[in-house]
């Protein structure tokens, strides 16, 4: 009678109001109803004897009515006394009832009740049970399978929703809903029909605890399919990219060899592997889009420099984009150190340059005199015309929207090669799901000789001990960061609290040079302060989180983070990574306000226990969830129907395997899989 593709409005008794409510949770047709799964079950498969009833259980009983009584207190109640053949009793309490109900509950009738067993003053009770008067011919409550309880949306009743979903399930039995896995999984998984039937109406012997844990094979079947749908949509984007044309860089060695000779250190194996992977990409005719992941201090910059050298040797321009002015300035310095001795011309472009500086840089970029261009998002502006852009390096991707990636890519004739560097590692399950359209290189090795940063958590009332430690560190001619992390509403308030801290530290450290840097300062002021700090002219740098990313001053060996309980794990790890870059043993002091929440305690504990950015990223994902980590540019994986990337990350290898198969199928099959799970097309946001 129905088709699964029918709109839900075609269901008898389902009106426009209910339709609107269901649409709001992504249910438009009967097929969508099938994927609205129960969040728990009731067992009405057998009648329980009163002597076997456990308080707290939801059970079905069948008893005889002895008498009823209306209690005329302020809060009216209807009491119905029941008993079994052995004179064991059960009291039903109704706080809301009507006269019709009262009249029906008459002495001597056989009644079935389903509800939670409670204990009252005089023995066992049930409040507002679901009931049927069996001796009056009402339908039996006994069921053959467990009964589903569905998550509800406003003003839709459980019974209604159950009825509609049952209609969808009936329709399913007769329909030929495409089963995407039937041939693929070679009987290692239930069919789609079996899985849906099991989850809506499990047999009595089904492992309910397993279902509650989302580890049942029928759930895994659906979870894998949903994750595949998301993965497939990203892999299709990747496929499209592999069909686009980019510039082939012929791999050259002159500049690279020269740089290697001048470096003063040897590349780690992981760095060399990453450079090789990048070289393979850029020497192919298709645009590279590669994620370069590595822990703080693992040496991502030099890897990017080698990519730039290939661009330059092939007469292309390379653009490097940083999320903040400070970081752009740091990169200018860092990259120029490597590039200037090789005779490479570097341009610099940020939003705060004056008109003539800007015009000069724009000219250099346009004429092609500038071979490497470093800047902030000012590089996106329309006025910027590149002469021959061949490579884009984006640093600290978390701060950029993917749309910005796109608009810079459009500034070149052929799609340029792109390298995206992340500030800290991304958990593997997220890389495999949210970033499946990118290739990935991982630097999983730190340069030799790095000493792990010792991390201590101290409550804020022990500030004087911290002051003592600062004196000691500066006495040894090392330097200190003091980060103020008061999360104020505005940058103005943040600056104010940093100003107060600055005064306090100046008073308590009269013999040291304590300097403040914050986001409200102008760019020249900020870069002058950073220059002085790099040159060891400042002992203690008091900062708002402007120094969060990228800053590299090896002589700094103590990091103090105020109100550390307010920051996320990744951010704390990133801040901590500002020390431990030189020869000296470094310390990170996490100051916190008491009392600490359980979550904050856990975060600080994790930081004390490990320096491994990959482990920290995984914990961060577990504590905050993918939505928080990915930010606003959600790719859909943060709000899936059944799957949950944190809980189900262990299935990603299977997901990857099946997705590759789907990629070989025809377009219609792929599209039907994607639209089943992704109702509104979020895939566009992932377009790069």
The contact set with ligand ADP (CB under 6 A) reads: 265, 267-268, 271, 294, 296-302, 447, 552, 581
Q: Which of ligand ADP, Mg ion, none has residue 650 at its interface (CB below 5 to 8 Å by kind)?
A: none
Distances (CA, A) of 41 to 83, 204, 208, 216, 526: 27, 11, 8, 14, 61
Tell me if 334 contacts Mg ion by CB under 5 A.
no
Angle at 299 between CA 296 and CA 304, to 5 degrees: 120
Of 161 and 549, the one with the shorter C-beta distance to ligand ADP is: 549
The size of the interface with Mg ion (CB under 5 A), counted in residues, is 1
Distance CA(17)–CA(86), nearest Å, equals 50
Query: C-alpha angle 235/236/242, rounded to 5°?
Result: 90
Partner in contact with 636, chosen from ligand ADP, Mg ion, none, beta carbon below 5 to 8 Å by kind:
none
Q: How far is CA 611 from CA 159, 397, 454, 575, in A?
A: 53, 21, 9, 12
The one of Mg ion, ligand ADP, none whose footprint includes residue 302, by CB under 5 to 8 A per kind, is ligand ADP
8/551 with CB nearer ligand ADP: 551
Which one, 171 or 574, has the nearer CB to ligand ADP? 574
Whether the Cβ atoms of residue 348 and residue 364 lie closer than 8 Å to each other: no
We find the least distance from the C-beta atom of residue 481 to ligand ADP, in angstroms, to be 15
Q: How far is CA 627 from CA 94, 174, 322, 530, 651, in A?
A: 44, 39, 23, 34, 19
Shortest reach from residue 262's CB to ligand ADP, in Å? 12
Q: Which stretch binds Mg ion (CB under 5 A): 90-98, 160-168, 176-184, 546-554?
A: 546-554
Least Å distance, CB 548 to ligand ADP, is: 12
Name which of ligand ADP, Mg ion, none residue 375 binds, using a CB cut-off of 5 to 8 Å depending on partner kind. none
The binder of 296, among ligand ADP, Mg ion, none, by C-beta within 5 to 8 A per type, is ligand ADP
Q: Rounded distance, CA 192 to CA 182, Å?
A: 8
268 binds, among ligand ADP, Mg ion, none (CB under 5 to 8 A by kind): ligand ADP
Of 148 and 550, CB closest to Mg ion: 550
Cβ closer to Mg ion: 330 or 455?
330
In the numeric block, the tokens 């004390």 are attached to 608
**Which residue is nearest to ligand ADP, using beta carbons?**
299
CA–CA gap between residue 164 and residue 624 (Å, rounded):
35
Closest to Mg ion by CB, 62 vs 548, is 548
Nearest to Mg ion by Cβ — which residue?
Answer: 550
* Shortest distance, position 440 Cβ to ligand ADP, whole Å: 15
| Cα distance between residue 588 and residue 579, in whole Å | 8
Residue 549 Cβ vs Mg ion, minimum distance, rounded to whole Å = 7
We find the least distance from the C-beta atom of residue 300 to Mg ion, in angstroms, to be 5
Nearer to Mg ion, 552 or 672 (CB): 552
Token pair listed for 484: 């103020």
What residue 581 binds from Mg ion, ligand ADP, none (CB within 5 to 8 A, per partner kind)?
Answer: ligand ADP
Q: Which residues contact 508 (CB under 8 A, 6 or more apart)?
A: 467
Is the CB of 322 or the CB of 590 nearer to ligand ADP? 322
- 74 and 92 in contact (C-beta within 8 Å)? no
Task: Give whichever of 175 and 555 is closer to ligand ADP, judged by the CB atom.
Answer: 555
Scanning 404-412, 463-471, 508-516, 548-556 for contacts with Mg ion by CB under 5 A, the matching segment is 548-556
Of 569, 534, 532, 530, nearest to 546 by C-alpha is: 530
Nearest approach in angstroms of CB 265 to ligand ADP is 4
Q: Residue 406: which of 427, 396, 420, 426 has the closest Cα?
A: 420
Nearer to Mg ion, 282 or 304 (CB): 304
**Which of 550, 577, 636, 649 touches Mg ion (CB under 5 A)?**
550
The distance of closest approach from Cβ of residue 324 to Mg ion in the complex, given in angstroms and rounded to an integer, is 12
In three state form, how does the secondary structure of 82-142 look?
EECCCCCEEEEEECCCCHHHHHHCCCCCEEEEEEECEEECCEEEEECCEEEEHHHCCCCCC
Nearest-angstrom CA–CA distance, 684 and 688: 9
For residues 30 and 14, give the distance between their C-alpha atoms in angstroms, rounded to a whole number.
Answer: 12
Q: What are the residues binding Mg ion (CB under 5 A)?
A: 550
């Amino acid at each position: 009678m129905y088709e699964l593709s029918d709109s839900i409005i075609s269901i008898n008794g389902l009106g426009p109001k209910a339709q609107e409510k269901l649409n709001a949770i992504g249910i438009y047709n009967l097929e969508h109803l099938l994927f609205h799964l129960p969040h728990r079950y009731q067992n009405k498969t057998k009648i329980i004897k009163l002597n076997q009833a456990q308080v707290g259980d939801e059970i079905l009983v069948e008893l005889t009515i002895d008498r009823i009584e209306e209690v005329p207190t302020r809060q009216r109640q209807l009491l119905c006394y029941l008993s079994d053949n052995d004179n064991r009793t059960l009291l039903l309490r109704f706080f809301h009832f009507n006269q019709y109900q009262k009249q029906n509950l008459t002495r001597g009738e056989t009644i079935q009740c389903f509800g939670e067993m409670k204990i009252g003053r005089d023995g066992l009770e049930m409040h507002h049970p679901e009931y049927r008067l069996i001796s009056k011919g009402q339908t039996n409550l006994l069921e053959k399978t467990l009964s589903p309880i569905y998550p509800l949306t406003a003003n839709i009743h459980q019974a209604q929703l159950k009825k509609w979903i049952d209609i969808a399930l009936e329709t399913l039995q007769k329909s030929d809903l495409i089963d995407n896995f039937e041939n693929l999984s070679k009987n290692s998984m239930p069919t789609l029909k079996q899985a849906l039937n099991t989850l809506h109406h499990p047999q009595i012997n089904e492992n309910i605890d397993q279902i509650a844990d989302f580890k049942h094979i029928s759930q895994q079947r659906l979870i894998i399919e949903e994750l595949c749908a998301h993965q497939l949509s990203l892999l299709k984007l990747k496929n499209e990219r592999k069909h686009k044309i980019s510039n082939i860089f012929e791999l050259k060695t002159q500049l690279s060899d020269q740089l290697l000779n001048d470096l003063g250190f040897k590349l780690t194996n992981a760095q060399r592997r990453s450079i090789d992977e990048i070289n393979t990409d850029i020497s192919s005719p298709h645009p590279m889009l590669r994620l370069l992941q590595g822990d703080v201090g693992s040496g991502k910059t030099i890897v990017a420099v080698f990519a730039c050298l290939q661009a330059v040797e092939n007469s292309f321009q390379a653009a490097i984009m940083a999320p903040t002015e400070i970081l752009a300035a740091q990169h200018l310095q860092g990259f120029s150190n490597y590039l200037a001795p090789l005779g490479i011309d570097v341009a610099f472009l940020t939003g705060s340059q004056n008109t003539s500086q800007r015009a000069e840089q724009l000219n250099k970029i346009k004429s092609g005199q500038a071979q490497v261009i470093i800047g902030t998002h000012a590089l996106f502006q329309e006025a910027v015309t590149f002469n021959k852009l061949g490579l884009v390096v984006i640093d600290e991707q978390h701060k950029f929207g993917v749309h910005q990636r796109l608009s810079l890519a459009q500034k070149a004739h052929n799609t340029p090669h792109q390298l995206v560097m992340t500030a800290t590692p991304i958990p593997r399950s997220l890389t495999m799901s949210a970033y499946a359209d990118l290739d990935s290189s991982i630097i999983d090795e730190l340069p030799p000789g790095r000493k792990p940063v010792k991390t201590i958590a101290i409550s804020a009332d022990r500030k004087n001990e911290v002051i003592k430690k600062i004196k000691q560190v500066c006495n040894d001619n090392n330097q200190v960061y003091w980060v103020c992390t008061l999360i104020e509403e505005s940058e103005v308030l943040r600056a104010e609290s940093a100003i107060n801290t600055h005064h306090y530290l100046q008073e308590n450290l009269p013999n040291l040079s304590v300097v403040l840097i914050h986001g409200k300062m102008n760019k020249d002021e900020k870069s002058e302060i950073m220059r002085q700090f790099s040159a060891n002219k400042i002992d203690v740098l008091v900062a708002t989180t402007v120094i969060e990313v990228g800053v590299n001053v090896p002589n700094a060996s103590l990091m103090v983070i105020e109100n550390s309980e307010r920051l996320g794990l990744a951010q704390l790890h990133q801040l901590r990574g500002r020390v431990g870059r030189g020869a000296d043993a470094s310390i990170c002091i996490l100051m916190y306000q008491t009392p600490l929440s359980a979550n904050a305690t856990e975060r600080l504990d994790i930081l004390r226990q490990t320096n491994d950015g990959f482990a920290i990223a995984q914990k961060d994902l577990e504590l905050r969830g993918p939505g928080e980590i990915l930010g606003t540019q959600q790719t859909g994986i943060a709000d899936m129907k059944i799957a949950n990337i944190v809980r189900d990350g262990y299935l990603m290898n299977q997901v990857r395997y099946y997705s590759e198969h789907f990629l070989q199928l025809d377009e219609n099959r792929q599209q039907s899989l994607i639209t089943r799970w992704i109702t509104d097309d979020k895939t566009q946001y992932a377009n790069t």
